[in-house]
Amino acid sequence: EYGGDVMNARNRFDQSGVNSYRWKYAHVNPAGVAQQSIEITVENGQVVDFKHDCSPSDICLKMPVENQAEWTVPGVLDQLLALAEQQHAMAIVRFDEEYGFPRAIVANSDEAPYYIQWSSEEFEVLDGTE
């Protein structure tokens, strides 16, 4: 079950002891040419740097970011779990074997929100964790 996979990934992340990391991931809409990328740096569980780019800028509409914590590993996993509980259709979700963060999340439903169609580009554990 998809929800169980998310819970397993969350447990893997929690048990890894990683609370300082840099994570970069991107969204590409197959129907268009625009790409959004998020790069988030977390130290001791707190967001200390957040970059959100959208290109090409003349045609790209940036998604609103109201709460940067929703874009951390626990925040994204919580959003995925909420979607699973609402029984949103998912096509592919791949989680990192070691840390549990989502490597690829692709929706196969018009009902699914745009923010779940992402792929991880980089994940770096920062000093002081593990």
Q: pLDDT value at position 31?
A: 65
Q: pLDDT value at position 109?
A: 56
Instruction: Name the H helices within the chain.
Output: 2-16, 73-85
Domains of the chain, residue spans: 2-118
Distances (CA, A) of 18 to 27, 38, 43, 72, 117: 24, 19, 9, 12, 24
**Chunked in runs of 10, what are the mean pLDDT values of the chain (130 residues)?**
82 96 86 83 96 86 86 91 72 86 77 64 83
pTM to 2 decimals? 0.82
Q: pLDDT value at position 106?
A: 77
Q: pLDDT value at position 61?
A: 76
Distances (CA, A) of 59 to 62, 75, 116: 10, 28, 21
